[in-house]
Structure 1
Amino acid sequence: DNIIKGHHEGANKLEEVLHWCDELGVEIFSIWIFSLDNFKRASHEVEGILGLIEGKMRELVTIEGLHANQIKVRAMGQIELLPPSLQEAIRHAEEATQNYDKFILNVAVAYGGREEIIEAFRGHLKAESESGKTVRQIADELTVDKITPYLYTSNLPDPELIIRTSGEVRLSGFLLWQSVYSEFYFCDTYWPSFRKIDFLRALRAYSQRKRRFGK
């Protein structure tokens, strides 16, 4: 149907955008392709979308440019909720590119920003409690830096620019923790129709802003 067709066109857009990133010197690109809320859609639609994602993950590994440009693929989200065949496709893409270091592609799938933060706190609490600390001690010592290592993006810098396409003027939970100082660019163009000129406009708008980091 039209929804699956739109997702198919969106999946094909990724390779084009990765080429633009390479041309323009962008070193980390994160894309949110399936949220936890998306599981609430009609079952045939969910199956269709996840099937597309699986196909794209398998296709990525065969793209010559992926290897030529040393693109490391990283998935972030509750991957364990996905069908086993998709989990395997993701694992294969990650393993095939794990030693690359020129460019990082973060693929957010089965991802939710609130859930990421909950998982991070859970990881921190487990680690601290295993060291014999009381709940009060853990609470008293809690800082931002104690949580950051348990995020999906723990070893990466926070995003400098977040582009929201399709005329949506909201964050929808994407990288909630990491985006505290990010700049935002909202674009009316739908993702499958996103053009290089749209990308350039977003980068130009970002370059003209003075980042204040809360100061």
Structure 2
Amino acid sequence: MPRKERARHRTAAGGPRTEEYLRRVTSSSRGRGPLYRLYINRLRRHLTPDVVPRHVAMMIDGNRRWARQLGYASAAHGHRAGAAKMRDFLEWCDDIGVQVVTLYLLSNDNLRKRDTQELSDLIEIIAELADALSRERDWRVLHVGRADLLPADLARVLSEVSERTRGHTGLHVNLAVGYGGRSEIVDAVRSIIAKHDEEGGSLEELAASLTPEQIGEHLYTGGQPDPDLVIRTSGEQRLSDFLVWQSAHSEFYFMEALGPDLREVDFLRAIRDFATRDRRYGG
């Protein structure tokens, strides 16, 4: 980015953390001009309902790197820009007919390893994002993760958001916060054991009757379709304990763009790529 443009970003960073600032700070990566829109429309026309994934999972990565590259002293600027981009991302998904989106926002590892100030900023940003998403369109917003591991204020906001949107019938948005894939499986098994014990069954009966479908029903995402497509930004190619069980047969798409730099054209190319794959479901 040119020096003058970086300077404008730094100046904006010193002002109020408004939605207008977040939109402005990511505008340079959205793409502008008639040729860009023409290409976007062309990509959209080729995405018929039968090739659009029902469930897209997003691992937004690179927010801190984005902030460093622009000369910000705090990673919070990157996390805020990434959160703003996720609102765009959800709109793109909704517009092409995706039914479920899961956003990986805060892992159990993040809760243990992040710098105290960065974690505090990130928790505030997630709370603001969750509240904003609950007021968008007719989206159903659900927290998936361990509420007991979260600060009380964030857990309260996520609970309120889930309750506020309970009757909504639009895009289903899972917010993976305080989330870990292996911990989710452990919690599912514990839930199955507890239920079986309440019904008076023996361990031998449980061992004989336990199935993958039964475990799936007790996951945080129980009753939802597994993700067809998992996307990760920033060039990293690892799962990072995200939807470990659910992604057993998912397709993966890794892109170089840092989270806040994600463009609609990048997303549509990922969907186009998904549409060309021969899904074998483990075969």
In which range does the TM-score fall when normalised by the shorter chain? over 0.9
Q: TM-score, normalised by structure 2?
A: 0.72
Partner of 1:43: 116
Partner of 1:87: 155
* Paired residue secondary structure (1:162): strand
RMSD: 1.2
Match for residue 98 of structure 2 among 9, 22, 26: 26
Deviation (angstroms), 1:102: 2.1
Partner of 1:154: 222
Distance 2:211 2:97 in 1: 34
Q: Give the share of equivalent positions with the same residue, in percent.
A: 39
Which of structures 1 and 2 has the larger relative contact order (alpha carbons within 8 angstroms, sep 6+)?
2
Distance 2:201 2:175 in 1: 35
Structure number with greater Rg is 2
With 127-136 and 24-33 compared, the bigger mean Cα shift is at 127-136
Partner of 2:74: 2
Aligned length: 210
Partner of 2:125: 52
Deviation (angstroms), 1:168: 0.8
What does the per-residue CA deviation read over 1:105-164, in whole Å, with 9 as the maximum and x for residues that have no partner? 111000000000000000001111222222222112211122111101111001100001
Distance 1:117 1:89 in 2: 25
Partner of 2:41: none
Q: TM-score, normalised by structure 1?
A: 0.93
Partner of 2:194: 126
Gaps of 5+ in 1: none
* Paired residue secondary structure (2:75): helix
Deviation (angstroms), 1:59: 2.8
Distance 1:59 1:143 in 2: 38
Gaps of 5+ in 2: 1-72
Runs of 4+ in structure 1 off by over 6 angstroms are none
Deviation (angstroms), 1:26: 1.3
